[in-house]
Amino acid sequence: MKTLLLFFTLISISVFSQQSIDLLTISGRYGTPQPFVDNEPGKATEISTLTNIKIPIVLSEKIIWYSQLTHVYSNVDMNRTFPSDIMSPISVHGFMFQTGIVKKIDDTRAIQLLIAPRFMTDFNNINGRSIQMGGIALFEKRFKPNLMMRFGVMYNQELSGPLFVPLVHLDWVITDKWSISGLLPIYAKIKYKVNENISTGISFFGLITSYQLGDPHYSGDYMERTSLDLTAFSRVRIAGNLHIEGRVGYAIGRTYAQYEGDQKIDFRISILKFGDNRVVKNIKFEDGMIINLRLVYNMPL
């Protein structure tokens, strides 16, 4: 019992310093069929899934070993014929792992140092280029009982070149009904608590990912996916800590861009690109409406 009490106390103070944590998320996403930008016949339909699990392990009163594993699968079906050196349909998998320490400095400050490797592939001819190394460093400061922020940076060695993302984490309980949380510029939620079982609001999620392609027809190429999902959401408690959440919105700036393996950029800071002279091999399709349904195990703190 003492071990469990220590576990939950340390999580609430040192690791998350927020109202609750989504320990397990299973999500499915559907993008409505959209035409190609060249106005030729045919449409593209996007389907994706996401599974995320978070695992904190108490090592001492001031240190927690924190791990997170995410699997994403993206599929784009196209009712149009393309040359054999263009991936069609698109089918890629990403396994993103984060692990490292969260160290409590005092009652209001902490640091997080995580390594964050990725395995990104189409499961054809897997090689070392499917592995991308990365890391995350964050400094945490609690300014008020209802306001905690973290500041830091994420690095990932994308197939297009190094990616740096300045990070600002915000957990702000504005009133008993309103709150804002998220890791900017990757994701965020503005939430209104209707009652103990229902919440609603708006959210966004955006992440750049790149996948090594191994099919013999385009071996050595990579696929780079970008999208900003802006949605309205509602979350309903269905039993205990188990929730179901629905999201409806729009995918903005969505691309699945295929490049030859030697096409690089100098470096990128978030969405800002430096030295990008790449030539896209495939045809972009239009942004469009998305529908997302997720099952969440959320632990109140």
Bridge partners of residue 163, in order along the sequence: 156, 268
Q: Is the pLDDT of residue 168 over 60?
A: yes
Tokens of 217: 């027809």
Residue from 250, 272, 159, 151 nearest 205 by CA: 250
For 188, the domain range is 2-300
Q: Residue 188 phi/psi, 5° resolution? A: -165, 160
Q: pTM of the full predicted structure?
A: 0.89
Q: How confident is the model at residue 49 (pLDDT cuts 50, 70, 90)?
A: very high
What is d(CA 278, CA 30) in angstroms, rounded to the nearest whole number? 29
* Count of structural domains within the chain: 1
Bridge partners, 78 (sequence order): 44
pLDDT digits (tens, 9 = 90+) for 93-136: 999 999 999 999 998 999 999 999 999 999 998 888 899 999 99
Taking the C-alpha atoms of residue 99 and residue 201, their distance in angstroms, rounded to an integer, is 30
* Preceding amide of 185 cis, omega within 30: yes
CATH of the domain at 55: 2.40.160
User: Which run of H or of E encompasses 18?
Assistant: none
Distance CA 203, CA 181 (A): 10
What SS3 state is found at 68? strand
Give residue-wise pLDDT tens across range 31-47: 999 999 999 999 999 99
